[in-house]
Chains A and B, each alone.
Chain A
Amino acid sequence: MNDESTLRAGEEPLAYAGAVEERGPANVALGGRGVATPAASGRTTAGRALSGVLASRWLGPCVALAALALPYLNSSTYVIQIAVDALIFVMLAVGLNIVVGYCGLLDLGYAAFFAIGAYTSGLLSTRFGWPLLATIPVVVAAAVLGGLLIGGPTLRLRSDYLAIVTLGFGEIIRITANNLDVTGGPNGLYGIPGFGDFGLRSDIALYWVTAVVVCLAVLFAGRLGRGRLGRAWRFVREDEDAAEAMGIHTYKVKFAAYIAGAVFGGIAGVLFAAHQTAISPPSFNFLWSALILMAVVLGGMGSTPGVVTGALAISLLPELLRGAENWRYLIFGLLLIAVMIFRPQGLLPARTGEARRRGRRVRGGAS
């Protein structure tokens, strides 16, 4: 296979898409909506206003404030329960965004790190009586170890193979947890303690702990993406060979993205264990990995506001459609197709803000 047809998971369109575009209008007549014009051209006023909001430095704090204030608006058990679920999902999506969005590595087994985190903290807290907070360093170590084990040999592979290898890894972790006695077999671990209730209703206390951790994580991921390492990731994603030629150690850079993603997943696992109080293998199946990936792509790869929005949508939509039984996943599936067709770059793509920043940076002589 020649280099042109080896495509990286990223912004780059399919190989022949370029060719199709060259055919121009004739193709539109042939294929209907064959050629999607890039959304960037002909932006409307509404679009400009939206990107203005997205680029605003107040967006992050406002969203964080809204998240922290939620229990004052509605503190019913159900709302808090699904809000914590959604926040944990945001953390997972932001972590996976580092791997897929920033660095362009297609990971289909991200739930593995989530499982490693949840099981490590669950094991230490239930079997050995550790307080949950004390398990976090061990969880980070375990996630890094998992990342080393699976990333080490496979990050040299082509991206499609990386997809199947990570998928296999996710299944291996899940089935192993299901088969071992120490992990509680198919029933998993239960009776996992929380972080303490600080004199509050216990689920609300956990909500605030989760909200703070997730807000910090989102902030950190956003900064990571904008920093020196983040630029290297994007470079690798856009053109690995060029990046290599410019002196970037692509293997190391990819590794860094993979490990960072693993740590995010592990910590999300701790929150999940505390939230659910009982964890079992079905929570870490392939569907879960696919849903996280979906959140990243739906929101817009590489864009933090986008990914957060995507995660909230993917996490809350099935809850909103609850009661529709089998219809809900049918609608969910059709919606995904529709969104991707009409906004293939995601709901809030990274492009708009980045172009502006890039321009500024050039003027300032940075990078």
Chain B
Amino acid sequence: MDHFIQLVFSGLFVGSFYALVALGYSMVYGIIKLLNFAHGDLYMVGAFAGFTVLSAGAGVLGGGLLALLAVMLVAMAATGGLGVLLERVAYRPLRSAPRLSVLITAVGASFALEYGIAVAFGPNPEVYQMGVSDGTLNVLGARLTYAQLAMTAIAVVLMITLDTLVRRTRTGRAMRAISQDPKACLLMGVNVDRVISRTFFLGSALAGAAGVMAGVYYGKIDFLMGFVIGLKAFTAAVIGGIGNLRGAVLGAVVLGLLESFSVAYIGSEWRDVFAFGFLILFLTVRPTGLLGERVTERV
């Protein structure tokens, strides 16, 4: 039983990382129907932005939770800004272009970000100099570290903040409206461009936050770290019903749990085969994802 609970915890923890990245995927898809392939790389850039801040302010910042939050805020602002820039430079000029062209720009942007970082920081992995406490505690016989708890808590807070933002604010309402009917929004005087920029900012900032969290928790960052998690987040977003925010989180948690259990019972080398195989079977049974159609609200 404690073994079972341990697997659940591992799955939830990994799932919360997937969720932060999947949210950005889903938001952008919901509003402009674009699969932003560079999204995973924004996560990577976030990790490197945090690394730069940490290295520059090593003496000043110290090592507590407050320092972590400060670094995260700077990194979120940086990746958010980068996301807006990306949309402005690479995606906005292509709005009237065939849909696949934009996809290609996104792949191009992904290459440019990855290798831009490789050129700037060198291909060697970098190590975060910020340690997190080693303390652990036992929950129902399973082992949890304080670091894991802190990370999960931060992720949950971020998700709730986003959810509130989308549900309660004017911008959030505009986002939902655009995803429903962009044409009507223009007629109603919504500044579509500005809302799209804000969507990119939010999604990218979340990915950046996840990047810093990964850097702090795992300790190692490299320029290709965004690729695998980008793929997984994409899968999670689709399982949840792409374009649906709560669906993205749900999908991420489901994916995290699935992976955790498949590693234990099938073997880690078959994990991705299992995850993608499940995805294919699942989509043939429920093509719109877990929350794809039931919920009308979309961002």
Contacts and interface: CB of A to CB of B under 8 A. Distances in A.
Direct touching of A and B (C-beta under 8 Å): yes
A335 B93 CA distance: 15
Contacts of A23: 186
B163 interface: no
B269 interface: yes
B276 interface: yes
B98 A344 contact: yes
B103 A171 contact: no
B284 A337 contact: no
Interface string A1-37: 1001101111111111111111100000011111110
B32 interface: yes
Interface in A305-355: 326-330, 332-337, 340-341, 344-346
A115 interface: no
A336 B107 contact: yes
A290 B37 CA distance: 11
B94 A329 contact: no
A20 B287 contact: no
B92 interface: yes
A14 B186 CA distance: 14
A157 B108 CA distance: 27
A337 B182 contact: no
Interface string B29-52: 100111101000000000000000
A367 B93 CA distance: 36
Nearest to B267: A179
B151 interface: no
Interface string A185-199: 000000000000000
Contacts of A286: 231
A34 B93 contact: yes
A333 B41 CA distance: 13
B111 A336 contact: yes
A14 B96 contact: yes
A181 to B, nearest CB: 12
B270 A330 contact: no
Contacts of B270: 175, 179
Interface stretch (B4-12, B116-124, B129-137, B211-219): B116-124
Where chain A touches its partner, the secondary structure class is: helix
Nearest to A38: B96
A183 to B, nearest CB: 13
Contact of B100 (A1, A297, A326, A332): A297
Interface string A274-298: 0000000000001000100110011
B65 interface: no
B70 interface: no
Nearest to A334: B112
A111 interface: no
A30 B97 contact: no
A41 B114 CA distance: 37
A330 B119 contact: yes
Contact of B111 (A4, A160, A297, A329): A329
B277 A168 contact: yes
B258 to A, nearest CB: 13
Interface in A129-174: 150, 153-154, 156-158, 160-161, 163-165, 167-169, 171-172
B238 A175 contact: no
Contacts of A345: 97-98, 101
Which of B35, B104, B119 has the most chain A CB atoms inside 10 A of its CB? B104
B97 A13 contact: yes
A268 interface: no
Nearest to A14: B95
A31 B193 CA distance: 8
B112 A11 contact: no
A330 B111 contact: yes
Contacts of A236: none
B149 interface: no
Contacts of A34: 92-93, 95, 193
Interface in B257-299: 269-270, 272-273, 275-277, 279-280, 283-284, 287-288, 293, 298
Contacts of B35: 160, 163
B110 interface: yes
A289 to B, nearest CB: 10
B109 interface: yes
B154 interface: no
Contacts of A171: 231, 272-273, 276
B272 A100 contact: no
A7 to B, nearest CB: 6
A301 interface: yes
A163 B284 CA distance: 13
A7 B235 CA distance: 20
Contact of B33 (A7, A154, A290, A337): A7
B104 A336 contact: yes
Contacts of B192: 16, 20
Instruction: Kindly name the residue among A1, A36, A106, A156 whose own CB sees the greatest number of chain B CB atoms within 10 A.
Output: A1
Contacts of A75: none
Interface in B58-108: 89-90, 92-105, 107-108
Contacts of B110: 333
A175 B269 contact: yes
Q: Chain B CB within 10 Å — which of A23, A160, A345 has the most?
A: A160
Interface string B195-239: 000000000000000000000000000000000000100110010
7 contacts: A14-B96, A16-B182, A157-B287, A165-B283, A179-B270, A327-B115, A329-B111
Given A16-B182, A326-B115, A333-B107, 5 more contacts: A36-B97, A106-B100, A158-B288, A294-B108, A330-B116
Interchain residue pairs A-B with the least CB separation, the first 9: A16-B182, A333-B111, A336-B108, A344-B97, A168-B276, A333-B112, A19-B183, A330-B115, A153-B284
